[in-house]
Amino acid sequence: MTLRTLGRASLKVTPLGMGCWPISGITSIDVNEADSLATIREAFDAGINFFDTAFCYGFDGESERMIARVLRQDRDKIVLATKGGIHWIEGKQARCGRPETLQSECDESLRRLQTDRIDLYYLHAPDPEVPIEESAGAIGELIRQGKVLSAGLSNASTELLARFHAVCPLTAYQPHFNMLQREIEDSQLPWCVEHGVAAVVYWPLMKGLLAGHLPREHVFNAKDGRRKYPMFSGDEWQRNQDFLDELRAMSIELGRPVSQIVLNWTIQRAGITVALCGAKRPHQIRENAEAMNWSLTLGEIARINAAIAARGPIVSKAAVS
């Protein structure tokens, strides 16, 4: 496994990182603290050195706090990314990109993470009420203060990326991306490649769909947040299962789990620097991490691309993660 450089920064990261939203237990079911802590430890032990969280991952910063509990002694061996600009008000997410909010949320994240610096600090999502130049300037000030080493932006258009970058040079951009949701390939991704900005993508397994474990007849729990996404119901669900049947056949032939095939394809995709994998259990992140240790052949990638093309256009729903 070869470490990759985040943009033009000096940060060296594994091609798979751990996305630490699921362990907060807000939208994922059957989450418990013991398994969440064990999953963080397993990710590190399996070779992952990049951990991605946010101020709003948990109603009281549960994700950031758990990372600190497990990895505080290994701080110099990991790269920590967190985000500011989204918080909870009466159980609902609210955006605020004002400089004073980003400053206070960064300070609180530093306390929760029990660290003296954040390696990569994102504006979690642009605030339509605040010019993005002001938010970018605030993160630039955090860098000047030494609290943050590099800047990131998530869930933004190409125009907003350019405007942010002009004020505070970006190290990374974080959008959703997977085999079935590839909109950024025609927009933000070429911009990132041109400007030396790393693409750190979430949802490479599309909230577990592309892990291949959910059977065609699966019935979602009423509390499962995935029920609201078109990908998990109706005709889209059936077409996705047809596509997954092709990947399941490859899984048998290669002797690799579907999840590893999907993740390996993702980190070999041109312009993608890191894929963030969420997990709730140690065995899940262990299986995912193994995808860094082998490579699909060009022929196998071509076969997957043909299956993606046969799947056809999808109904997509943008989200903030």
| Contacts made by residues 157-165, CB under 8 angstroms, sequence distance 24+ | 157/187, 157/188, 158/187, 158/188, 158/191, 160/126, 160/132, 161/188, 161/191, 161/192, 161/197, 162/191, 163/132, 163/133, 163/136, 164/123, 164/132, 164/133, 164/135, 164/136, 165/136, 165/195, 165/197
Q: Residues 57, 122, 173, 202: which is the catalytic one? A: 57
d(CA 84, CA 121): 7
- The predicted model scores a pTM of 0.95
Spatial contact of 14 and 47, defined as CB atoms under 8 Å apart: yes
CATH topology of domain 4-208+258-295: TIM Barrel (3.20.20)
DSSP state of 196: T
Active site residue 57: yes
Domain coordinates in residue numbering, the chain? 4-208+258-295
Contact call for residues 282 and 42 (beta carbons, < 8 A): yes
**Which of these, 29, 33, 49, lies nearest to 276 by C-alpha position?**
49
DSSP codes of every residue in 136-182: HHHHHHHHHTTSBS-EEEES--HHHHHHHHHHS-EEEEE-B-BTTB-
What does the pLDDT profile of the chain (321 residues) look like in tens digits?
699 999 988 999 999 999 999 999 887 778 999 999 999 999 999 999 999 999 999 999 999 999 999 999 999 999 999 999 999 999 999 999 999 999 999 999 999 999 999 999 999 999 999 999 999 999 999 999 999 999 999 999 999 999 999 999 999 999 999 999 999 999 999 999 999 999 999 999 999 999 999 999 999 888 888 888 889 999 999 999 999 999 999 999 999 999 999 999 999 999 999 999 999 999 999 999 999 999 999 999 999 999 999 998 776 555 566
